[in-house]
Amino acid sequence: MNPLLRGAAALGIVLWLAAPVRAQELPYGPVSLAGGRVMLGTDVSLSASTQNDESAWFNYTDYEHNTMRLMRLGLTTDIRVSDRVSLLGEVRSENGERVRPYALYVRVHPWKNRPVDIQAGRIPPSFGAFSRRAYANGNLLIGYPLAYQYLTSLRSDAVPATVDELLRMRARGWRPSYSIGSVAIGTGMPLITAFRWDTGVQVRIGSGRLMTTAAVTNGTISDPHSKDNNGGKQISGRVQWEPVVGFVLGASGARGPYLADSVRDQLPHPASSMQHAAGVDVEYSRDHWLVRSEGVWNRWRVPTLGAPLDAKSAFVEGSYKVLPAVFVAARVDRLTFNRVAGTTQTRTCDAPVTRFEAGLGYYIRRNLLGRVTSQHNSRDGGLTRKRNQLAVQLQFWL
């Protein structure tokens, strides 16, 4: 049977079975234990699409999964040790593979009457807005924004010796290979990954209208690490301002070395291997409308290349509530790269990508959501340059 038909059939069966569930009053929020000191939550999603393996690379992740054909199971915990100390964590399994820690950190509230938190461990990101919205129904659609998911041709464990070698890998972020560094099969890096959190220390100051977050971490926004791989640290931060209710402005920045020492040790004269990124975001909601936009500028310094590799990405998305339980949503997304000169050609260092996705969502219950979306991808390079697909998703969370 066609994958879409299988997914649609599964979703239809669940919708039919879910009708009498309303009367059973299953929990809508986290499960509380030990007098409220322990809170347990979950995030379960099942997605299916018409996308086959050959066209999966548009939606491939750094975990080598397809976001449009994904089964994800997540369990979150919040343990309140005292009034000022909490332990928070989340474990996930995707497509039935091994369970991975997604978040694991301690939160300390040093002063009772001051809005200051210190978090240490595998911490939430301090860059961008979408990373914190990828949980539960925060994502308006099934696919992810290009900046947070699409794999470029750059790796943190291997580098091209020349610009010509780099250009041969255009649009091959799902499987780039280079002559310097690791020869193992691996994926490229997105500008920012929404599928892994970094390890370090974070300070969050403020609440309500103005909030500032800053962090020092082992990895970078494109390649987080639980253990440091290069002896350097990333510094990242974000400022969020809500001048009026429903209108939110944000600005982010990050700077850190992304290249592993195992690669730098093979270079005769290692140069800078820093990643710099800056981002702005805005959100506005009123009545039945919700509109968001985010822009990201990113620069990688590759020691073997004379010029930096720049990427820019921007998306606009929105949703409109047609009925109390029904909404429509859409996103327009673009990712571009700067031009570099090889011996025989001058081209963008990777293939620019455009994505459009639109869909319909139905809240079966307050925390049980069914969605169907249509996505179009196109890019200037690669064996597969255009791809249209339909996808369905069922998502439940506590």
Quickly list H helices, 268-390. Answer: none
280 DSSP β-pair partners: 251, 295
Main-chain phi, psi angles of 79, to 5 degrees: -110, 115
**Tens of pLDDT along the chain (398 residues)?**
444 444 445 445 444 544 444 444 555 678 889 888 999 999 999 999 987 665 568 999 988 889 999 999 999 999 999 999 999 999 999 998 889 999 999 999 999 889 999 999 999 999 999 987 767 688 999 999 999 999 999 999 999 999 999 999 999 998 999 999 998 889 999 999 999 999 999 999 998 899 999 999 999 999 999 888 888 999 999 999 999 999 999 999 999 999 999 998 898 877 789 999 999 999 999 999 999 999 999 999 999 998 899 999 999 999 999 999 999 999 999 999 999 999 999 999 999 999 999 999 999 999 999 999 999 999 999 888 999 999 999 999 98
May I ask the CATH class of domain 3-397? mainly beta
Q: CA torsion, points 116, 120, 123, 124, in degrees to nearest 10? A: 0
Residue 72 CB-density burial (10 A; 0-12 exposed, 13-18 middle, 19+ buried)? middle
Instruction: Give residues with Cβ within 8 angstroms of 248, minimum separation 6.
Output: 240, 241, 242, 281, 282, 283, 284
Supply the pTM of this predicted model: 0.90
In the chain, what are the domain boundaries? 3-397
Pairwise CA distance, residues 28 & 397, whole Å: 8
